[in-house]
C-alpha cells in the first residue's frame, strides 16, 4: 500500500508503549464523555431519534480513527450536518437520508482515490466562515422552541417564517424550560473551570436530568417526544426504490463536500496543535468508508469534529488509539446506561446546542474579515445569507464560483505585469548573511489557492533560525485566506522564538496586514520597504 493511503494507525504503532497507551486511554475516555451529550443533541436537532447520534459516534468514530489519515482526529456527528440532515429527512424520509449518506460515502472514497484532498484545501477562508456562521445561526434558531418550552406542533423550516412563528407563540413559553436552558448554558460554559477533567455539557445533562426527575418539573424530555431509546446496534438496510436514486445525488454531494471540508479542516487544526502532518487522501477514504457503514447500522452522516479533536489533543491523545477508545467508551455507555438517556430534558439539549452554535459561529473571524478587503466581505456575506435564507448547497456552490470570479477580476487588474518593486537593491551572495538569519521569498498573489502551499513551506523552517526575513516585493495582493494562514505561520514562529521581518511590502498588502492579528506579532518597524533595511533590522535582533 502506498504511504499516501496508509492509515496513520499503522504508522504510529511502531514504538508504541504502555505510557503512550495510558495517555490515549485517558484522552479517549474523556472525549467519549464529551461526545455523549453532543451525539444525542445533534441527532435530536437533525430530526432523528437520539440513539442514531450515538450509533454514528460509535461506528463512524471507530472507523475514522482506525483507517484515517490523522493521528488524533475524532469522528462522529457534527453540528454542521444538522441543517442538511433535517432537510433530507423532511423531504425524503429516513430511508432517503440513509441512501444519501451511503452515496456520500462512496463519493468521499472516490475523492480520496482521485487524490482530491489537496484541491479541497483551496476553499477560501471567507467562504468557510460564511457558511459555518450561517449554520450556527440556523442551529440556534432551531432550538428556540425547546429552549423556551413553546407549545408549537409544527415549526416552519424557512428561517424568517420560523422566527415569526416563535414570536406569535411567546404566550406559551415555559419558565421551567427557560431555567433549565439557561442553567445548562452556564454550566456548559463555566463548569470546566471548576472541574477541568469533566466536560461542562456532561455535568449539565446529569444535573438537569436529576433536577427534573426529583422536582417533577413539567417539561418535555426525550422520552415524552421519542419514547424509549434502544441500547443496541442492529444491521438495518433501507428500502431502495432504484427509480428514485437520482434524487439523492445532490444531497449526497452536499454531505460529501461538507464532510470533506470539515474533516480536512479539523485535521489541519490538529496538525497545528501537535506539529503533525495528516494524509488528506487517506482521511477522505476513511470518512467515506465511515459514511458507508454508518447508515447500514442506523447512523447518520459523520465527519471529523474539530472541538472533540481539540479535546483529545488537550487531554494527551497522540495516536488513533485515543479515537478508538472514545468509540468503545460510547458503546459501553450506550449498552449499560442508554436506558436512562430518555430522561434528559429537551430544554437541556437545546442549551447544549446553543453553546455549540456559539462556538461554531466564528464571530471573531467574521468580524476580522469584515475589516478587510471588500472582495472577501462580498464572499463572506453572500455565503452567510444564502446559507441562512436559501440553502447550504446553493451557498457553497455560489460562494466557490463567486470567489473564483473575484480572483480572476483581481488578477486582471494586475494586467500581466509585476508591480514596481519597492526594493531597489539586490543581494548577489546570500552566503555573506549571518547563519542565524534565514531568508524566504513569496512571489505572486498570496491568495486562497496558494496560501496553504506557502504555509507548508514555511513550516519546514529549521529551528535554529533566530530571524526570518520574508521578502514580499512580488506579492500584489493578499486575501483573507492568505492572511489567516500567514497569521498562523507568524504565531508558530513566535512560539519558537523566531523573529520575523517583512521586506518589500506594497501599500495594499501593508494595509491588509495592519487590520489583522499579525500586527500583534510584527511591529511596524519590522515591515520594511526594502531588503537592505530589513537586513539591518535583522542583524540588530540576533
Is pLDDT above 90 for 161?
Answer: yes
pLDDT interval class at 469 (50, 70, 90): very high
Mean pLDDT across the stretch 159-183?
95
Residue 31 and residue 154 in one domain: yes
Rounded to 5°, the CA angle 146-152-158 comes to 85
Residue pair 452/485 in contact (Cβ under 8 Å)? The answer is: yes
Domain that holds residue 501: 416-540
The total domain count for the chain is 2
Answer yes or no: is 3 within a domain.
no
For residue 428, the SS3 value is coil
Is pLDDT above 80 for 477?
Answer: yes
Mean pLDDT across the stretch 303-308?
92
DSSP, residue by residue, 368-385: HHHTS-HHHHHHHHHHHH
Which of the two residues, 502 and 192, has the higher pLDDT score?
502
pLDDT of residue 451: 65
CATH number, domain at 446? 3.30.750.24
Mean pLDDT across the stretch 413-428?
48
Mean pLDDT across the stretch 384-409?
87
Mean pLDDT across the stretch 358-371?
89
Residue 166 and residue 117 in one domain: yes
What is the 8-class DSSP label of residue 14?
T
Is pLDDT above 60 for 355?
Answer: yes
Is pLDDT above 80 for 127?
Answer: yes
pLDDT of residue 45: 92
Residue 396 and residue 483 in one domain: no
- Say which residue the cell 502506498 belongs to: 2
Residue 422 and residue 312 in one domain: no
Residue pair 233/189 in contact (Cβ under 8 Å)? The answer is: no
Answer yes or no: is 1 within a domain.
no
**C-alpha–C-alpha distance, residues 327 and 57, integer Å:** 7
Residue pair 62/327 in contact (Cβ under 8 Å)? The answer is: yes
| Residue of 310, 312, 313, 268 whose CA lies nearest to 492 | 268
Answer yes or no: is 156 within a domain.
yes
pLDDT interval class at 2 (50, 70, 90): low
| Residue of 349, 93, 355, 100 whose CA lies nearest to 229 | 349
Specify which residues 502 forms β-bridges with. Answer: 470, 527
Is pLDDT above 70 for 218?
Answer: yes
Cα end-to-end span (Å), the chain? 47
**C-alpha–C-alpha distance, residues 262 and 307, integer Å:** 11
pLDDT interval class at 443 (50, 70, 90): confident
pLDDT interval class at 422 (50, 70, 90): very low
Which of the two residues, 60 and 393, has the higher pLDDT score?
60
Tens of pLDDT, residues 483-530: 888 888 888 788 888 899 999 999 888 888 888 778 778 888 899 988
pLDDT interval class at 149 (50, 70, 90): very high
The whole model's pTM is what? 0.80
Mean pLDDT across the stretch 339-346?
90
pLDDT interval class at 463 (50, 70, 90): low
Q: How many CB atoms lie within 10 A of CB 274?
A: 14
Is pLDDT above 90 for 330?
Answer: yes
Is pLDDT above 60 for 155?
Answer: yes
Answer yes or no: is 90 within a domain.
yes
pLDDT interval class at 121 (50, 70, 90): low
**C-alpha–C-alpha distance, residues 258 and 360, integer Å:** 14
Residue 202 and residue 81 in one domain: yes
Is pLDDT above 90 for 58?
Answer: yes
Is pLDDT above 80 for 119?
Answer: no
Residue 19 and residue 122 in one domain: yes
Residue 398 and residue 507 in one domain: no
From 407, 433, 454, the end of a domain falls on 407
Residue 155 and residue 260 in one domain: yes
Answer yes or no: is 131 within a domain.
yes
Is pLDDT above 70 for 147?
Answer: yes
Residue 350 and residue 470 in one domain: no
Is pLDDT above 70 for 47?
Answer: yes
Residue 479 and residue 392 in one domain: no
**C-alpha–C-alpha distance, residues 209 and 219, integer Å:** 11
Residue 400 and residue 426 in one domain: no
Is pLDDT above 70 for 448?
Answer: no
pLDDT of residue 357: 92
Residue pair 75/290 in contact (Cβ under 8 Å)? The answer is: yes
Mean pLDDT across the stretch 134-153?
93
189 backbone dihedrals φ, ψ, rounded to 5°: -80, -35
pLDDT of residue 187: 95
Is pLDDT above 60 for 424?
Answer: no
From 375, 407, 439, the end of a domain falls on 407
Percent of the chain past pLDDT 70, that is, above it, reads: 93
Q: Is the dihedral of CA 225, 227, 232, 235 positive or negative?
A: negative
pLDDT of residue 100: 95
Tens of pLDDT, residues 239-298: 777 777 888 998 999 999 999 999 988 898 888 788 788 899 999 999 999 999 999 999
Choose the weakest-confidence range: 277-291, 334-348, 405-419, 500-514.
405-419
Residue pair 423/531 in contact (Cβ under 8 Å)? The answer is: yes
pLDDT of residue 43: 94
Residue pair 9/320 in contact (Cβ under 8 Å)? The answer is: yes
Which of the two residues, 221 and 429, has the higher pLDDT score?
221
pLDDT of residue 459: 67
Is pLDDT above 90 for 177?
Answer: yes
- Residues 6+ away with beta carbon under 8 Å from 238: 94, 95, 98, 99, 102, 295
Residue 334 and residue 483 in one domain: no
Choose the weakest-confidence range: 15-19, 52-56, 182-186, 338-342.
338-342
Is pLDDT above 60 for 428?
Answer: no
Q: Is the dihedral of CA 186, 189, 190, 192 positive or negative?
A: positive
pLDDT of residue 1: 45
From 407, 428, 448, the end of a domain falls on 407
Answer yes or no: is 28 within a domain.
yes
Answer yes or no: is 457 within a domain.
yes
Answer yes or no: is 111 within a domain.
yes
pLDDT of residue 285: 96
CA atoms within 13 A on the CB side of 320: 25
Max avg pLDDT among 28-37, 439-448, 508-517? 28-37
pLDDT of residue 336: 87
pLDDT interval class at 73 (50, 70, 90): very high
Which of the two residues, 515 and 54, has the higher pLDDT score?
54
Residue pair 384/402 in contact (Cβ under 8 Å)? The answer is: no
Amino acid at each position: 500500500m502506498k504511504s499516501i493511503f496508509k492509515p496513520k494507525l499503522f504508522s504510529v504503532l511502531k514504538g508504541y508503549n504502555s505510557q503512550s497507551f495510558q495517555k490515549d486511554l485517558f484522552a479517549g475516555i474523556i472525549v467519549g464523555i464529551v461526545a455523549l451529550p453532543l451525539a444525542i443533541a445533534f441527532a435530536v436537532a437533525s430530526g432523528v431519534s437520539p440513539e442514531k447520534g450515538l450509533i454514528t459516534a460509535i461506528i463512524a468514530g471507530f472507523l475514522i480513527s482506525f483507517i484515517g489519515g490523522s493521528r488524533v482526529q475524532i469522528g462522529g456527528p457534527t453540528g454542521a450536518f444538522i441543517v442538511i440532515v433535517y432537510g433530507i429527512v423532511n423531504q425524503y424520509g429516513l430511508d432517503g437520508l440513509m441512501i444519501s449518506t451511503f452515496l456520500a460515502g462512496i463519493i468521499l472514497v472516490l475523492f480520496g482515490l482521485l487524490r482530491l484532498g489537496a484541491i479541497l484545501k483551496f476553499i477560501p477562508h471567507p467562504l468557510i466562515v460564511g457558511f459555518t456562521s450561517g449554520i450556527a445561526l440556523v442551529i440556534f434558531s432551531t432550538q428556540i422552541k425547546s429552549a423556551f418550552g413553546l407549545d408549537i406542533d409544527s415549526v416552519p423550516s424557512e428561517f424568517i417564517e420560523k422566527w415569526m412563528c416563535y414570536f406569535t407563540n411567546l404566550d406559551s413559553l415555559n419558565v421551567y424550560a427557560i431555567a433549565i436552558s439557561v442553567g445548562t448554558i452556564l454550566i456548559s460554559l463555566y463548569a470546566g473551570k471548576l472541574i477541568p477533567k469533566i466536560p461542562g455539557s456532561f455535568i449539565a445533562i446529569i444535573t438537569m436530568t436529576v433536577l427534573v426527575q426529583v422536582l417533577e418539573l413539567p417539561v418535555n424530555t426525550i422520552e415524552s417526544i421519542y419514547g424509549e431509546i434502544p441500547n443496541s446496534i442492529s444491521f438495518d438496510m433501507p428500502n431502495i426504490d432504484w427509480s428514485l436514486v437520482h434524487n439523492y445525488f445532490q444531497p449526497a454531494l452536499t454531505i460529501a463536500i461538507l464532510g470533506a471540508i470539515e474533516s480536512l479542516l479539523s485535521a489541519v487544526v490538529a496538525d497545528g496543535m501537535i506539529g503533525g502532518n495528516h494524509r488528506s487522501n487517506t482521511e477522505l477514504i476513511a470518512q467515506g468508508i465511515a459514511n458507508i457503514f454508518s447508515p447500514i447500522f442506523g447512523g447518520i452522516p459523520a465527519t471529523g469534529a474539530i472541538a472533540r479533536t481539540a479535546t483529545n489533543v488537550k487531554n494527551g491523545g497522540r495516536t488513533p488509539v485515543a479515537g478508538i477508545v472514545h468509540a468503545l467508551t460510547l458503546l459501553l455507555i450506550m449498552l449499560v446506561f442508554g436506558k436512562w438517556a430518555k430522561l434528559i430534558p429537551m430544554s437541556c439539549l437545546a442549551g447544549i446546542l446553543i453553546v455549540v452554535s456559539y462556538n461554531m459561529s466564528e464571530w471573531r473571524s467574521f468580524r476580522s474579515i469584515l475589516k478587510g478587503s471588500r472582495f472577501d466581505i462580498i464572499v463572506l456575506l453572500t455565503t452567510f445569507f444564502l446559507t441562512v435564507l436559501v440553502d447550504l448547497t446553493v451557498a457553497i456552490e455560489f460562494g466557490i464560483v463567486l470567489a473564483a470570479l473575484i480572483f480572476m477580476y483581481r488578477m486582471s487588474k494586475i494586467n500581466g505585469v509585476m508591480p514596481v518593486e519597492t526594493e531597489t537593491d539586490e543581494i548577489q551572495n546570500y552566503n555573506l548573511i549571518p547563519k542565524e538569519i534565514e531568508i524566504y521569498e513569496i512571489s505572486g498573489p498570496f491568495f486562497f489557492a496558494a496560501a496553504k502551499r506557502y504555509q507548508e513551506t514555511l513550516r519546514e523552517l529549521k529551528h535554529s533560525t533566530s530571524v526570518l526575513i520574508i521578502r514580499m516585493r512580488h506579492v500584489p495582493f493578499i486575501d483573507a485566506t492568505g492572511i489567516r494562514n500567514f497569521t498562523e505561520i507568524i504565531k508558530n514562529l513566535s512560539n519558537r522564538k523566531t523573529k520575523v521581518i517583512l521586506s518589500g511590502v506594497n501599500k495594499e498588502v501593508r494595509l491588509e496586514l495592519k487590520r489583522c492579528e499579525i500586527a500583534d506579532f510584527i511591529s511596524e518597524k519590522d515591515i520594511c520597504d526594502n531588503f537592505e533595511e530589513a537586513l539591518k533590522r535583522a542583524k540588530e535582533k540576533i
